[in-house]
Structure 1
Amino acid sequence: MSSEGQPAVSGQALSSTEEVPWKRLSAKAPVAALVPISTVIGRMLLTALLPTYFAGERGLPVILWIIVSVIALVMLAAGLYEVATLSYRVVGAQLEIRSGVLTRSSRFIEAARVQNTEVLQPFVSKLLGLVEVKVETASGGKADGHLQGLTPEDAQALIQALQAVRGEASRVLLPGESSADERVLSEARLGDLLLYGATALGVGVLAVVLSALHEITETFHKLLLPWMEKHWELMAAPGMGWLAATVAALAGLFGLWLVSGARAVLRFHGFRLVDTGTHLRAVGGLITRRQVTVRRARIQQVVLDEPFLRRMLGFGSVEVETAGVRTGKESSERAELLVPVVPTTRMPELLREFVPDLPADIDALPLRPAHLKALLRARIRAVVLSVLVAAPATWFWGAWGALAWGLVPVQLLSAWFDWRFQGWLVTDTLVVVRQGFWRRRTTVVQRARIQSVRARQGPLERGYGIGHVRIDVAGSQVVLPSVGWEEAQSLIDQLPGRRPSRGARLPG
C-alpha cells in the first residue's frame, strides 16, 4: 500500500531505518525525463494557444506569450529538479520514495503488496543507457512507484530487493536480456503483428487517420488540387462518381490498416512471453521497450479475445489481469500482460499456463446457456434500436433512407447469434464466462480472487423473471449471461463462500 505519511515509530526503529542510505537516480535522469516532461507540459498549455484561432491576424498579445513561456519554463525546471532530487530505498519490508520541490511527499509501498514490476526503456533512455521501473500494487490508477532514470544495475538491485522481501529468489533480467533456462511460451513475428493490427481497427485509429487527412488537406490542398484535376479527369466525368467514391473508400480503409498495423508494430515488436518458474515475463516494443513481470500466484483473471475476423484467420489474443489495476478504458489497456497473437491451435496450451485448472480443450467445456427469455429481451432491444435508426432515415432521405429498415432482420439475426453463443460455468476453483459472437470473449476468473457478487434486474428482466449476476474482482468485473432470478439469488450465496480446494479440477 502507499500513503503520504507514516505514524511515528520508536527511536530504535528509526535508527535502524536511518542506517539504510538513500539512493538517487542517475545523473543523466533529467536528460531522459526532458522529453516526457515537455510533452506533459505542452498538453497542459495547449489550451492557452486556442484563442489564436479567434484572434485573427493579430494573434495573442506579446505579454501573454511571455507569461505562457515563463510558466512553461518554470514547470519544466520544477519537473527536472524533482527528478534530479528524487531518492528511494528499501527498508525492511517497504520501498520508500521521497520526491517533490515545494511540497515534499513520501511514499511507502509494502513489498508484499507488489503485484507486478514493469521495466521500460524509452528511446532516449536507451541512448543514455538507462531504464525506468514501475511498481504496481492493487491500489489502482497509476503505478504506486515510478522511478525514471535508473541505471540497469540499480534497477536490478531494486527488483531483487523487493523479491527478497517476498521470499523469491529469481534472476532479474532487463529488456533485451535472456536466460538459458527460461522457457519461451509465445512469440510474435512481424507478419503476425501486421495481421493483428489490420484486424484491430477501432475508434482511436479512425480518429488518428481522420485527423491526419484533415491536416494534409488543409495544408497541401493547393498542391494536390492541380494534380487531381490533371490526372483524375476520368473519375470526374458524369456517371463515374461511384468509381471515385469506391477509390476513396478503399484508400481510407488502407489508411486505417496502415495506421493500425504501425501501432501494433510499435507496441509489440519483438514480443516474447517466457516462463521463469514463479513469474511470467513479457517483453516487446520498437521505440519504447517494455517488460512486464507478473507473478503466477497473483493472476486473478484471464480473457481470451477472439473477434470474428481473427477467428476466421486462426488466431486470437490473451489478456492477463492481476490486482495491479490500470486506468485504460479498453480491457486490453487494463491488462497487465497482453499476448497479441495466439494461434487457435495453441490457445488451450497457453491458457493452461495461466490457469492450470483448465482442461486441455476449453471449447469442450460444459457451459450452461443463457436463459431462453434473454433471447426475447435481446430481440425487443434489437427492434427498438433498428426503428430509432430507420424511422428518421426514411423521414429525411425518403426511398434511400428506407433501406435502413433492412437493419431489423440483421439485428434480429445478430441478437440470436449473440444469445446462442453465450455460456457460463462455475466450478470449485473457477468461473468461466463466454459472451458474444462477432467479438467472442471467454473470461476465466479465479474464485479465490472474487471480491463481491451481486444480482440485478432491469425493467424488462423483472417482467420475465430473469436477472444477471455481476462478479467483482480487484479493479474489474465480469457479468454472467442472464439466468433465472432464483438461480441468480443462489449464486450470490454460493460464489463468495467457496474457496479452491487442493487438486480440484474441472469436469471432463
Structure 2
Amino acid sequence: MTVEGRLHPLAILVHAWRGVRVLGLVGIVSLLTSRSPVTLGLIAAALLLVVLPGAVLAWMRFTYRVADGALEVRSGVLTRSTRTIPLDRVRGVDVTVPPLHRLAGLVQARVEDASGGAGDSGLTLAAIRRADADALRDAVLRVAPADPADPAAPAAAGDGPPPLARARAATLARAGATSGRYLLVPVAAVAGLLNAVGDDLPAVRDGVEDAVAMTPTGATGAALVVAAAIALAVLVAAAGSLLVDGGFTLREAGDRLVARRGLLARRTVSLVRPRVLEVRTSPPWRAQRLAELRGLVGGVATTEREGRGRSTLMPADREDRVWALARRIDPAVHDGLDPHPARGLPRRLLRACGPPAVVAVVAGLAAGPVPALVAAGATLVMAAVAVDRHRALGSRLAGGRLGLREGSLSRRHTVIAPDEVVAYRVRRSPGQRRAGLCTLTVDLGQGAGSRRALDADAGGATGLLRDLAPDLMAPLVTGDPRPRE
C-alpha cells in the first residue's frame, strides 16, 4: 500500500501559533510594564516578516510517503531533512481532534516509532484531513482497507464488534474527584493567574481584596470557606476527568488495540497489543475498589500524566473489571503474588521514619514542643506509609508472566511477558546482604522504563532469574565457569 500526501493548508496557522505564543508573551509583559510602542511594533514586524513566512515554508516543505515498507518524511525550513521509519518499528498511531481542528474537519496525527524516550521520537502531523489520517494509519499499521463492495464489510464503525471496555461517566467523576492528578490543577491555575496579573491590573487586585474583606472572620466562617473551596476543587477535578477521559472505549483491531477518549478534544490511539500490563491504584481509589489499567509499549511517547511508554487501556473502573479486561487482552495475566519477607520491614521503616524522627529530635531541642510534636506526627504518618508499602511488595512467575507490585500512595501491579525484558539487574546494599535480601530490576527498554522486585528474598530471586531466562542465567546463578559459545 502506497500513501503519500502533505499537510492541510490550515497547518500554516498551527505552525505560526508556536511563534505567536512566544511573541504574545513578550507583548503582554511589555504591555504590563513599559507599554512601549516601539517594542509592540518590533513584535508585529517579527510576526509578519519571520513567523508567518516561516510557517508557510514549513508547510510547503513537509511531505510524507508510505511505500516499500517504510514511512519517509521530508521537512525543514533552513535545514532540510529526510527521515525514514521502517514500518515494523511503528508502535502506534495517535489521532487527536482538538476543538479548533474539529471546526475545520481536521485532526492531528502522531506516528510513534520504537525510538522510545528519544526527544525527537515519533512523527507529528499538525493538521490533516480525517480521511488522510485514516489512510496513513492503515498504511503504517499494515491494515487492509475495507472493500465497500464486500457484503461482509461493516457499513459503519458502529457496526463492528462491541468494545472490549467502556468507561462509565459516574466512575470517571468519582475517580477524578479523588485523584491528585486533577484535584490541585484548578487551585494552582487560579493562584498562578492572580500572582501574574494581580499587581499590574488594579481591577483584579481590588476584586481580590473585596472578596477577602467579605470572607467570614470567625472559626465557623473560615471552616465554611475552606469547605466551599474544597468542594469547588473536587467538582472541577471531576469535570476535568470527564473532559479528558469521557466517552472512553477500547476496541480490538486485529493484533492492535484502539482507544478513544475525550469530550472536548477527541483522541484516538492505535497501538500494538501490549505484553506488559500495569494496574495502578491509590489509597482513595482502594477505598472505592477502583483501579486503572495501562499498557506499557516501548516507543510510545505519551503525555506527562501518563508517563513514559504508557497508554491508558481503562482510565478508571472497579478493580475486578480492570483485571478481567487485563485477562481479555492477555489471557496469561495473573494477579496472584508471593509476599516478600518480613525482614524487609525494618528497612522500609528506617528509610521512611529516619528523616522526620531526626527533625523531631532537633526541633524538640532547639525550637520547643510544638514543632517537635508536628515532626513526631509526621513520623507516625510515615511509619504507616512504610508498613503499607512493605505489605504491598510481592512477585511471582506463573503462566509465563512475571508479576511485580510495589508502592503505597501510588501502587502499581505490573505483569510482564519475559520476552519483553531487555536486561536484568540485581542490587544488594549492605543492609540487604545482612538480611538476606536483594532488589531485582527488569529493564523493559525503548522508553518503557523498568520495574522492581524490592527487598525480595535473595534465594527466591535466584530461582526467579533461573526460571525467567534459564539459558542466560544458569551459568551466573550456579557458578558454572564454562564460557558460553
TM bracket (short chain): 0.7 to 0.9
Q: 402, 405, 423: which is aligned to 2:394?
A: 423
Residue 207 of structure 1 pairs with residue 188 of structure 2:
yes
Give the % identical residues: 25
Q: 1:52–1:163: structure 2 CA closer, same or farther, 3 Å change rule?
A: closer
C-alpha distance in 1 between matches for 2:208 and 2:139: 60
Partner of 1:120: 96
Partner of 2:170: 191
1:44 CA drift (Å): 4.5
* Aligned 1:89-488 pairs, distance under 5 A: 89-140=65-116, 141=118, 143-164=121-142, 168-169=143-144, 178-202=157-181, 205=185, 207-212=188-193, 214=195, 220-226=204-210, 229=213, 231-232=214-215, 235-236=216-217, 240=218, 242-296=219-273, 299-326=274-301, 328-332=303-307, 334-359=309-334, 362=335, 365=336, 367-391=337-361, 394=364, 398-404=368-374, 405-427=376-398, 429-474=400-445, 475=447, 476-488=449-461
Bigger CA drift: 388-397 or 102-111?
A: 388-397
Q: 1:331–1:134: structure 2 CA closer, same or farther, 3 Å change rule?
A: closer
| TM-score with structure 1 setting the length | 0.79
Bigger CA drift: 211-220 or 180-189?
A: 211-220
1:471 CA drift (Å): 0.5
Q: 1:446–1:330: structure 2 CA closer, same or farther, 3 Å change rule?
A: farther
| TM-score with structure 2 setting the length | 0.82
C-alpha distance in 2 between matches for 1:271 and 1:380: 43
Question: RMSD of the alignment, in Å?
Answer: 3.2
1:178 CA drift (Å): 2.6
Whether the aligned pair in 2 keeps the contact of 1:118 and 1:291 (CA below 8 Å) is: yes
Q: How many residues align?
A: 453
Q: 87, 102, 116: which is aligned to 2:63?
A: 87
Letter in 1 for 2:340: A
C-alpha distance in 2 between matches for 1:50 and 1:392: 48
1:326 CA drift (Å): 2.2
Partner of 1:3: none
Q: 1:421–1:434: structure 2 CA closer, same or farther, 3 Å change rule?
A: same
1:97 CA drift (Å): 0.9
Whether the aligned pair in 1 keeps the contact of 2:64 and 2:71 (CA below 8 Å) is: yes
Whether the aligned pair in 2 keeps the contact of 1:379 and 1:415 (CA below 8 Å) is: yes
C-alpha distance in 1 between matches for 2:306 and 2:470: 28
* Runs of 5+ consecutive residues of structure 1 not aligned to the other structure: 1-16, 500-508
Whether the aligned pair in 2 keeps the contact of 1:319 and 1:337 (CA below 8 Å) is: yes
C-alpha distance in 1 between matches for 2:26 and 2:415: 47
Instruction: Write the deviation string for residues 42-77 of structure 1: whole angstroms up to 9, x where unpaired.
Output: 554578579859xx96x2765554444444441343
C-alpha distance in 1 between matches for 2:146 and 2:383: 55
Letter in 1 for 2:128: L
Q: 1:377–1:162: structure 2 CA closer, same or farther, 3 Å change rule?
A: same
Q: 1:379–1:243: structure 2 CA closer, same or farther, 3 Å change rule?
A: same
* Runs of 5+ consecutive residues of structure 2 not aligned to the other structure: 148-155, 473-485
1:181 CA drift (Å): 2.3
